[in-house]
């Protein structure tokens, strides 16, 4: 699995996470860690259709309040309400 994800990271120009399950969450957080460690400098966009990612943002806020998150998570990804907004962000990155 790690080998597949390493290939994905190397070949990708950007990462776009649609609403999904535990695998999507794992991939999103892995990209976030790569950006935090400055191993990656590629856009990561969460497509927040119908507020899907709002509970995750609340969890990140809780982590920050508990001082478990040092780097502002807002700098690790962009939240886009529509696919057009997602591509607009990626194009301008």
Domain boundaries along the sequence of the chain: 2-92
**The two three-digit tokens of residue 29, written as one number:** 């957080």
What single DSSP character describes residue 11?
A: H
| pLDDT for the residue 30 | 92
Q: Is the pLDDT of residue 71 over 80?
A: no
Q: Is the pLDDT of residue 21 over 80?
A: yes
**How many Cα atoms within 13 Å fall on the side-chain side of residue 92?**
8
Q: pLDDT confidence of 90, banded at 50, 70, 90?
A: very high
Q: Which fold is adopted by the domain 2-92?
A: Rossmann fold (3.40.50)
Signed CA dihedral, 63, 65, 67, 73: sign only: positive
Does the reported pTM lie above 0.75?
yes
Greater pLDDT, 74 or 24: 24
| pLDDT for the residue 55 | 97
pLDDT tens digit sequence for 22-70: 999 999 999 999 999 999 999 999 999 999 999 999 999 999 999 998 7
Bridge partners for 17 per DSSP: 46
């Amino acid at each position: 699995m790690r080998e597949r994800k390493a290939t994905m990271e190397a070949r990708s120009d950007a990462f776009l996470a649609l609403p999904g399950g535990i695998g999507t969450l794992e991939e999103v957080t892995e990209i976030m860690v790569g950006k935090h460690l400055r191993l990656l400098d590629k856009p990561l966009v969460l497509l927040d259709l119908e507020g899907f990612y709002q509970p995750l943002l609340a969890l990140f806020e809780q982590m920050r309040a508990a001082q478990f998150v040092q780097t502002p998570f807002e700098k690790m990804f962009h939240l886009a309400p529509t696919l057009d907004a997602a591509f607009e962000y990626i194009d301008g990155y």
